[in-house]
Amino acid sequence: MSTTPIAASKKVNLRRPGIMEAVQQQVEQHYRSVVVEKLRASGNVLSAAGLTVRLAKQFGFCYGVERAIDLAYSARKVFKDKKIYILGEIIHNPEVNEQIGRMGIKSLAGPNSEASPDDVTADDVVIVPAFGAEVDTMSRLQAIGCQLVDTTCGDVLSVWKRVTQYASEQITSIIHGKAWHEETKATSSRALAKGPGHYLVVYDLAETDYVCNYIRHGGSKEEFLKKFEGAHSPDFDPDRDLQCIGLANQTTMLRSETEDVQRRLRQAILDRYGEKELVQRFRFFDTICGATQERQDALDQLLAQPLDLMIVVGGYNSSNTSHLVEMSEGRHPTYFIKSASMIASDKLIRHYSLKFQKEIETENWMPVGRSAAIGVTAGASCPNNLIEETIRRLFELRGVSLEGLLAS
Ligand code: SF4
């Protein structure tokens, strides 16, 4: 990429009338499901031939994902003759990403990248996905002078605001998230955006406890930095930078775990510095997004019902979807599938294992010859047409056509 002076991206209204009608039509054609809408309208339960499918009350596309997809489709219509790139994946769903690729939008990063950031020129358009991008990446694109279509979700922007605020008060941001996830990388970079700032990303409760122990008793700085390699700001010093901390999180984490992370770190600061200094040394702000919360709450309700098993539909690299799988795994046999094509028969299913980080096969996964209740949910990046195909496939295995069933 070139290093010309930074220029603001030109403002273009992508959501103007005429364009948006055409976008809506195309988006509905690609991802809408009349079957899912009917199911929603009739209490989210469908039964036939001894099979009951219970759909969570909230599932699938969130407002941030819908907006990002609308803007990407709209960019294709408005900038008809321009090269359009996207920073990685628009969202974490293979079906949606393939569709975006078929529209001639080329990915600049990730496993399926078809172009390099060095290919971008001032004449091109670059779409920033819903999880945002790192400060350096945005500066480089602005320096090139290309047209930016920024689809960063408002809920992600709220987290950035919080982290930027912590940095301005010399408070270290402790981010509960996945250090390798695009959103967390983008959030971490905000801690360094306006001069000296610090951040540390904690992934789970075990890492949180390690940090808490360091806050209470100190320890080996070398060991600390090795353990959190790639998850802290460049000159991080745990002896200096854990004295005043402010919490934030990736928007799609498991709420119960995030609350635990907050509680444990608060207690560690309290134990080390006492009640009087708590207000100065510990800040927190709940940055789980509303859509993630609604999907987790709806799954909790669904899991409380009698079920033989659960199916979670979504992209394997989708953070919010994996958390739905984690919630479900502790309660019922759970199968995480990217599409209905993973259901080979009532004897065999291919599904993603979070434990082994790969697809595995399970035999005799579905009750046969007796009644069965199956729960279905999907992450915030999963379109309704994939949910429909899954439900259709489940009833097919019992010899029932979904159309016939919904018409009756
Ligand atoms: S999951 Fe939440 S933060 Fe992410 S795009 Fe959807 S609404 Fe925005």
Whether 156 lines ligand 1, by a CB cut-off of 6 Å, is yes
pLDDT category of residue 405 using cuts at 50, 70 and 90: confident
Whether 159 lines ligand 1, by a CB cut-off of 6 Å, is no
Q: Based on the domain organization, do 128 and 95 belong to the same domain? A: yes
Residue 127 lies in a domain: yes
114/175: higher pLDDT? 175
For residue 2, pLDDT over 60 is answered with: no
What are the backbone dihedrals phi and psi of residue 250, each rounded to the nearest 5 degrees, phi first? -60, 140
pLDDT at 367: 95
For residue 342, pLDDT over 70 is answered with: yes
For residue 123, pLDDT over 70 is answered with: yes
Contacts 24+ apart (CB under 8 A), 116-125: 117/1, 118/1, 119/85, 120/1, 120/85, 120/144, 120/146, 121/146, 122/146, 123/82, 123/83, 124/82, 124/83, 124/84, 124/85, 125/75, 125/79, 125/82, 125/83, 125/84, 125/85, 125/149
Which of 229, 260, 288 finishes a domain? 288
Cβ pair 164, 185 in contact under 8 A: no
What's the mean pLDDT in 44-50?
94
* Closest-lying ligand 1 atom to the alpha carbon of residue 154: 8
Q: For residues 260 and 283, give the distance between their C-alpha atoms in angstroms, rounded to a whole number.
A: 15
Average pLDDT, the chain: 93
For residue 221, pLDDT over 90 is answered with: yes
Q: Based on the domain organization, do 299 and 383 belong to the same domain? A: yes
pLDDT category of residue 8 using cuts at 50, 70 and 90: low
Q: Based on the domain organization, do 366 and 270 belong to the same domain? A: no
Residue 317 lies in a domain: yes
pLDDT category of residue 3 using cuts at 50, 70 and 90: very low
Q: Based on the domain organization, do 48 and 145 belong to the same domain? A: no
Q: For residues 356 and 211, give the distance between their C-alpha atoms in angstroms, rounded to a whole number.
A: 27
For residue 7, pLDDT over 70 is answered with: no
Residue 26 lies in a domain: no
Q: Based on the domain organization, do 122 and 205 belong to the same domain? A: no
Report the nearest-CA residue for atom 2 of ligand 1: 289
Q: What is the 3-state secondary structure (H, E, C) of the chain?
A: CCCCCCCCCCCCCCCCCCHHHHHHHHHHHHHCCHHHHHHHHCCCEEEECCEEEEECCCCCCCHHHHHHHHHHHHHHHHCCCCCEEECCCCCCCHHHHHHHHHCCEEECCCCCCCCCHHHCCCCCEEEECCCCCCHHHHHHHHHHCCEEEECCCHHHHHHHHHHHHHHHCCCEEEEECCCCCHHHHHHHHHCCCCCCCCEEEECCHHHHHHHHHHHHHCCCHHHHHHHCCCCECCCCCHHHHCCCEEEEECCCCCHHHHHHHHHHHHHHHHHHHCHHHHHHHEEECCCCCHHHHHHHHHHHHHHCCCCCEEEEECCCCCHHHHHHHHHHHCCCCEEEECCHHHECCCCEEEEEECCCCEEEEEECCCCCCCCEEEEEEECCCCCHHHHHHHHHHHHHCCCCCHHHHHHC
pLDDT category of residue 4 using cuts at 50, 70 and 90: very low
pLDDT at 286: 75
pTM for the model: 0.89
Give 228-275 pLDDT, tens digit per residue. Answer: 999 999 999 999 999 999 999 999 998 889 999 999 999 999 999 999
Domain range for 209 is 155-288
pLDDT at 1: 42
pLDDT at 402: 86
For residue 404, pLDDT over 90 is answered with: no
Whether 379 lines ligand 1, by a CB cut-off of 6 Å, is no
Q: Based on the domain organization, do 238 and 254 belong to the same domain? A: yes
Q: Based on the domain organization, do 159 and 282 belong to the same domain? A: yes
For residue 5, pLDDT over 50 is answered with: no
Report the nearest-CA residue for atom 4 of ligand 1: 64
For residue 408, pLDDT over 70 is answered with: no
Q: Of 59, 61, 62, which is best to mutate to test ligand 1, by the most ligand atoms within 8 angstroms of its C-beta?
A: 62
Q: Based on the domain organization, do 190 and 259 belong to the same domain? A: yes
pLDDT at 11: 77
pLDDT at 111: 72
Whether 394 lines ligand 1, by a CB cut-off of 6 Å, is no
Q: Based on the domain organization, do 281 and 351 belong to the same domain? A: no
pLDDT at 125: 96
Which of 106, 136, 153 finishes a domain? 153
Residue 20 lies in a domain: no
pLDDT category of residue 181 using cuts at 50, 70 and 90: very high
Q: Based on the domain organization, do 283 and 166 belong to the same domain? A: yes
Whether 153 lines ligand 1, by a CB cut-off of 6 Å, is yes
Q: Based on the domain organization, do 270 and 359 belong to the same domain? A: no
Residue 18 lies in a domain: no
Tell me how far the alpha carbon of residue 362 lies from the centroid of ligand 1, in angstroms. 32
Residue 79 lies in a domain: yes
Tell me how far the alpha carbon of residue 63 lies from the centroid of ligand 1, in angstroms. 7
Least trusted range by pLDDT, from 55-69, 109-123, 356-370: 109-123
Active site residues: 183
Tell me how far the alpha carbon of residue 186 lies from the centroid of ligand 1, in angstroms. 14
What is the domain-level CATH number for residue 187?
3.40.1010.20
Residue 242 lies in a domain: yes
The Cβ of residue 333 has, within 10 Å, a number of other Cβ atoms equal to 14
For residue 47, pLDDT over 70 is answered with: yes
Domain count, the chain: 3
Q: Based on the domain organization, do 175 and 100 belong to the same domain? A: no
Whether 130 lines ligand 1, by a CB cut-off of 6 Å, is yes
Residue closest to 266 by CA, chosen among 228, 232, 216: 216
Which of 97, 129, 153 finishes a domain? 153
Q: Of 59, 65, 128, which is best to mutate to test ligand 1, by the most ligand atoms within 8 angstroms of its C-beta?
A: 65
pLDDT category of residue 406 using cuts at 50, 70 and 90: confident
For residue 23, pLDDT over 70 is answered with: yes
Q: Please, what is the end-to-end C-alpha distance for the chain in angstroms?
A: 60
Report the nearest-CA residue for atom 6 of ligand 1: 64
Residue 191 lies in a domain: yes
pLDDT category of residue 9 using cuts at 50, 70 and 90: low
